[in-house]
């Protein structure tokens, strides 16, 4: 799904976009998790529930949806996840 026909941007631009957005997303996610826990981690990094879509796939799904207006159900089938995961 990373083809420019689906995303509207080149592979190089997509890579740069992901590199630019990933640190901020990860920091925001860790901050929210820390706030939910009420403190620092109690388990080792990497333990716990895993995301069904990693950050790169989330960016791709968003770009493809915005460019092609594919329904969330169709995108969910392409990534073998539930529709609620995509939305």
pLDDT at 42: 78
**Which pLDDT value is given to residue 20?**
96
pTM comes to 0.78
Give domain limits for the chain: 4-86
Q: What is the mean pLDDT of each run of 10 residues along the chain (87 residues)?
A: 88 94 92 87 73 90 93 93 91
Taking the CA atoms of 33, 39, 44 and 48 in sequence, report the sign of the dihedral they define.
Answer: negative
State the pLDDT at residue 47.
72
pLDDT on residue 50: 73
């Amino acid at each position: 799904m990373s083809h420019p026909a689906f995303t509207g941007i080149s592979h190089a631009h997509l890579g740069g976009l992901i590199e630019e957005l990933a640190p901020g997303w990860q920091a925001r996610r860790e901050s929210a998790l820390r706030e939910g826990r009420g403190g620092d981690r109690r388990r080792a990094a990497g333990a716990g529930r895993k995301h069904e879509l990693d950050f790169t796939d989330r960016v791709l799904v968003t770009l493809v949806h915005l460019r092609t207006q594919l329904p969330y159900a169709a995108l969910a089938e392409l990534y073998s996840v539930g529709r609620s995961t995509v939305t």
